[in-house]
A and B are shown apart, each in its own frame.
Chain A
């Protein structure tokens, strides 16, 4: 049971690395095989197929698909708590309308697209060109106001987008970043004063260590050894004090629990496996 949970749990938090590897391998194979005259057709076909596998709710991303049922309420409640949203607006079908949201490290767009569907004006960035293609192909066919997807990193993006967003979201990203403080600081640059930062990431405990590194990399061999570094995981207290030095006050931390058997998520007060943190940028 623990092994199985750990295995699934690993899948959730290592999704982006794993998938971008899969995507990359696929692209290489296709471009070697295809003849130059069919390049555009092949591209259309390829991205359609990739989008389907990323967006297959039973596929490798299945835990991230269902994670929106805790991520979105967490974002909504956080914005209610700090008065960005009022209770009435929060209950409408477009609670995030009038909000400019930046999704940093958006991957295939699972969260960005839901935010857009709920009315937000979303900009979503990811350094992987392949994933951005997957994300925008899917969004064109599935949302009325698709997110603006851009292939870029935060270093570049933050240069021209200072004080621009009401909310910055980084979901399941920071555990892959080595220079967290720089990353956080650049992301905060894009946030308006009093804007909200939302982070979700695995907790740094023996359990997530077991799940992601021992099971995922060594026992099951699902991703190359070294994909995750336990020392890159960050505890909520550490994250919160890092943010404090960047003039950003943490207002809430909640735990996200995952049941791999039912593929359902729930919110709890204790950050045991995975957690969400909300912080507000000072004036």
Chain B
């Protein structure tokens, strides 16, 4: 009888005595979001005793970022809540003392009628809209913080299989291609838009490709000093945006058709600069119905005593493009219908992927981290074990409420401005005018965009 009892016991606990290392939390994916999440868990007073493992399939990141390096072509526009998070985990000091550029003005305009489409210029209501920071610098600063924490990190580790439990609070088992495995009470998927964790969760994923490529590059600009304006123009092929890096340099994000992207990557630097300048400068199309609609909008606004800034746009002039800084990325939209399952949650691009036109991608992910860490700490201090379903469902409903409207409005903005169908364009223009004139809406837009 005793041996039979033992047999049952053995079967249940087989994997834990098989030598698989046990963790409270495993974070799968060590990009900006995964690394920051690991730090945020480690520095939280209520969560710091959890055993945490971070797995990154790529090679170990060297932490040797210096001012002497040329600007990287991958940058993020960091809003103030993301900055606060980086500050809390102790990474912001290094970022600020290395290099970052404050954006205090955003100028957004459309392709059809430039005298009317200046979007917002917001000296008066907030000094700092956002900070432009290179992705590599974020990862570098956060990784340094991680090294002084008690988080275990595995680099170059490929996961063969995630075995997710059917029931909440059961263990997750992670098997590596190298044959070994680990077990944890909670798996956090931060492995980007192609998330393997999400696939293992077997949840519905709503996604579409924009049939666009995003070209990034570092460009030298001639603009009045200080260079603190972010520029974005909606054109029929997509959007083109310049984010300031320093008085001399800006970072380009140019979303365009795959064909155009291909030729833009192949052309000489001089032709590329010409193409870019003309994209910013080519005159607005004189589409009559749109102009008529704009006039109506003017009258409506006047009637309600709302004003419109009518400053002409003087776009920045691009002088040159940095060597080898041009690269292209596919763009798409993705929304995971569930962010959580038993003992598993998704954060960052694994849960949501958006068009980079508003520079929101990484900010949504940082928002996920702040929310998750706060709820997890609350849950632990209420005596729940880590990964309790009450905490996970609260995280999901709070972040979906936060993220989905932003994602949809960004998707809509992109669709409206790419449309060649006049009524849709009119709508777009009217949208711009109203946003420009109505301050409360503008404030909401600004807090979302930056």
A41 and B382 form a contact (CB under 8 A): no
B383 and A72 form a contact (CB under 8 A): yes
Docked Cα-Cα span, A44 to B12, in Å, equals 12
Could you tell me the distance in whole angstroms from the C-beta of A139 to the nearest C-beta in chain B?
12
Q: Which residues from chain B contact A69 at a C-beta distance below 8 Å?
A: 378-379, 382, 384, 390
Choose among A58, A93, A115, A263 the residue that contacts B380 (Cβ–Cβ < 8 A): A93
Choose among B5, B378, B390 the residue that contacts A65 (Cβ–Cβ < 8 A): B390
B1 and A37 form a contact (CB under 8 A): yes
Docked Cα-Cα span, A39 to B4, in Å, equals 11
Residue of B whose beta carbon sits closest to that of A66:
B390
Known contacts A65-B390, A69-B379, A263-B390: does B385 contact A40 (CB below 8 Å)?
Answer: no
A93 and B46 form a contact (CB under 8 A): yes
Known contacts A37-B1, A58-B389, A93-B49: does B167 contact A115 (CB below 8 Å)?
Answer: no
Could you tell me the distance in whole angstroms from the C-beta of A34 to the nearest C-beta in chain B?
13
Q: Which residues from chain B contact A48 at a C-beta distance below 8 Å?
A: 8, 12
Q: Which residues from chain B contact A72 at a C-beta distance below 8 Å?
A: 381-383
Q: Mark each residue of chain A from 103 to 121: 1 if its CB lies under 8 Å from any CB of chain B, else 0.
A: 0000000000111011000
B363-416 interface with A by 8 A CB criterion: 378-385, 388-390, 393-394, 397
Q: Which residues from chain A contact B8 at a C-beta distance below 8 Å?
A: 41, 44-45, 48
B379 and A57 form a contact (CB under 8 A): no
Known contacts A93-B46, A262-B397: does B5 contact A114 (CB below 8 Å)?
Answer: no
Q: Mark each residue of chain A from 126 to 167: 1 if its CB lies under 8 Å from any CB of chain B, else 0.
A: 000000000000000010000000000000000000000000
Residue of A whose beta carbon sits closest to that of B383:
A114
Q: Which residues from chain A contact B297 at a C-beta distance below 8 Å?
A: none
Choose among B9, B12, B46, B384 the residue that contacts A114 (Cβ–Cβ < 8 A): B384
Choose among B1, B12, B46, B394 the residue that contacts A264 (Cβ–Cβ < 8 A): B394
Judge whether B59 is part of the interface by a CB distance below 8 angstroms: no
Known contacts A57-B389, A262-B397: does B379 contact A44 (CB below 8 Å)?
Answer: no
Q: Mark each residue of chain A from 69 to 95: 1 if its CB lies under 8 Å from any CB of chain B, else 0.
A: 100110000000000000000011101
Choose among A73, A92, A142, A263 the residue that contacts B382 (Cβ–Cβ < 8 A): A73
Docked Cα-Cα span, A40 to B6, in Å, equals 11
A40 and B390 form a contact (CB under 8 A): no
Choose among A44, A55, A117 the residue that contacts B5 (Cβ–Cβ < 8 A): A44
Q: Which residues from chain A contact B393 at a C-beta distance below 8 Å?
A: 262-263
A41 and B1 form a contact (CB under 8 A): yes
Judge whether B179 is part of the interface by a CB distance below 8 angstroms: no
Docked Cα-Cα span, A92 to B389, in Å, equals 23
Q: Which residues from chain B contact A262 at a C-beta distance below 8 Å?
A: 393, 397
Choose among A45, A66, A117 the residue that contacts B383 (Cβ–Cβ < 8 A): A117
B385 and A117 form a contact (CB under 8 A): yes
- Which residue, A65, A66, A142, has most C-beta atoms of chain B within 10 A? A66
B168 and A57 form a contact (CB under 8 A): yes
Could you tell me the distance in whole angstroms from the C-beta of A137 to the nearest C-beta in chain B?
11
Q: Which residues from chain A contact B394 at a C-beta distance below 8 Å?
A: 264
Q: Which residues from chain A contact B385 at a C-beta distance below 8 Å?
A: 117, 142
Could you tell me the distance in whole angstroms from the C-beta of A255 to the nearest C-beta in chain B?
18
Docked Cα-Cα span, A56 to B381, in Å, equals 21
B1-26 interface with A by 8 A CB criterion: 1-2, 4-5, 8-9, 12
B168 and A58 form a contact (CB under 8 A): yes
Judge whether B45 is part of the interface by a CB distance below 8 angstroms: yes
Known contacts A72-B383, A115-B383, A262-B397: does B45 contact A91 (CB below 8 Å)?
Answer: yes
Q: Mark each residue of chain A from 21 to 65: 1 if its CB lies under 8 Å from any CB of chain B, else 0.
A: 000000000000000011111001100100010011110000001
Judge whether A68 is part of the interface by a CB distance below 8 angstroms: yes
Judge whether B169 is part of the interface by a CB distance below 8 angstroms: yes
Residue of A whose beta carbon sits closest to that of B169:
A57
Q: Which residues from chain B contact A57 at a C-beta distance below 8 Å?
A: 168-169, 388-390
- Which residue, B1, B167, B382, B394, has most C-beta atoms of chain A within 10 A? B382
Docked Cα-Cα span, A97 to B183, in Å, equals 29
Known contacts A40-B5, A57-B389, A262-B397: does B169 contact A93 (CB below 8 Å)?
Answer: no
B383 and A93 form a contact (CB under 8 A): no
Q: Which residues from chain B contact A117 at a C-beta distance below 8 Å?
A: 383-385
A41 and B5 form a contact (CB under 8 A): yes
Q: Which residues from chain A contact B397 at a C-beta distance below 8 Å?
A: 262
Residue of B whose beta carbon sits closest to that of A117:
B383
Q: Which residues from chain A contact B382 at a C-beta distance below 8 Å?
A: 68-69, 72-73, 114
Docked Cα-Cα span, A93 to B378, in Å, equals 11
Q: Mark each residue of chain A from 218 to 239: 1 if its CB lies under 8 Å from any CB of chain B, else 0.
A: 0000000000000000000000
Known contacts A57-B168, A57-B389, A69-B390: does B380 contact A40 (CB below 8 Å)?
Answer: no
A52 and B167 form a contact (CB under 8 A): yes
Residue of A whose beta carbon sits closest to that of B3:
A41
Docked Cα-Cα span, A183 to B1, in Å, equals 42
Residue of A whose beta carbon sits closest to that of B391:
A69
Could you tell me the distance in whole angstroms from the C-beta of A280 to the nearest C-beta in chain B?
23
Known contacts A93-B49, A264-B394: does B384 contact A68 (CB below 8 Å)?
Answer: yes
Could you tell me the distance in whole angstroms from the C-beta of B364 to the nearest C-beta in chain A?
23
Q: Which residues from chain B contact A68 at a C-beta distance below 8 Å?
A: 382-384
Residue of A whose beta carbon sits closest to that of B378:
A69
Q: Which residues from chain A contact B5 at a C-beta distance below 8 Å?
A: 40-41, 44
Docked Cα-Cα span, A10 to B9, in Å, equals 37
Docked Cα-Cα span, A193 to B43, in Å, equals 39
Could you tell me the distance in whole angstroms from the C-beta of A112 to the nearest C-beta in chain B?
10
Residue of B whose beta carbon sits closest to that of A143:
B385
Q: Which residues from chain A contact B379 at a C-beta distance below 8 Å?
A: 69
A41 and B4 form a contact (CB under 8 A): yes
Docked Cα-Cα span, A64 to B2, in Å, equals 36
Docked Cα-Cα span, A264 to B382, in Å, equals 13
A56 and B390 form a contact (CB under 8 A): no
Docked Cα-Cα span, A52 to B384, in Å, equals 16
Q: Which residues from chain A contact B167 at a C-beta distance below 8 Å?
A: 52, 56
10 cross-chain pairs, A with B, having the tightest CB-CB distances, nearest first: A114-B383, A72-B382, A57-B389, A66-B390, A41-B4, A118-B383, A69-B382, A40-B1, A117-B383, A72-B383
18 sample A-B contacts, Cβ–Cβ < 8 Å, listed by A number: A38-B4, A44-B5, A45-B8, A48-B12, A57-B388, A65-B388, A66-B390, A68-B384, A69-B379, A69-B384, A95-B381, A113-B383, A114-B382, A117-B383, A117-B384, A118-B383, A142-B385, A263-B390
**Chain B residues within CB distance 8 Å of chain A:** 1-2, 4-5, 8-9, 12, 45-46, 49, 167-169, 378-385, 388-390, 393-394, 397
Known: A39-B1, A40-B4, A44-B9. 4 other contacts (CB 8 A): A48-B12, A57-B390, A69-B382, A93-B49
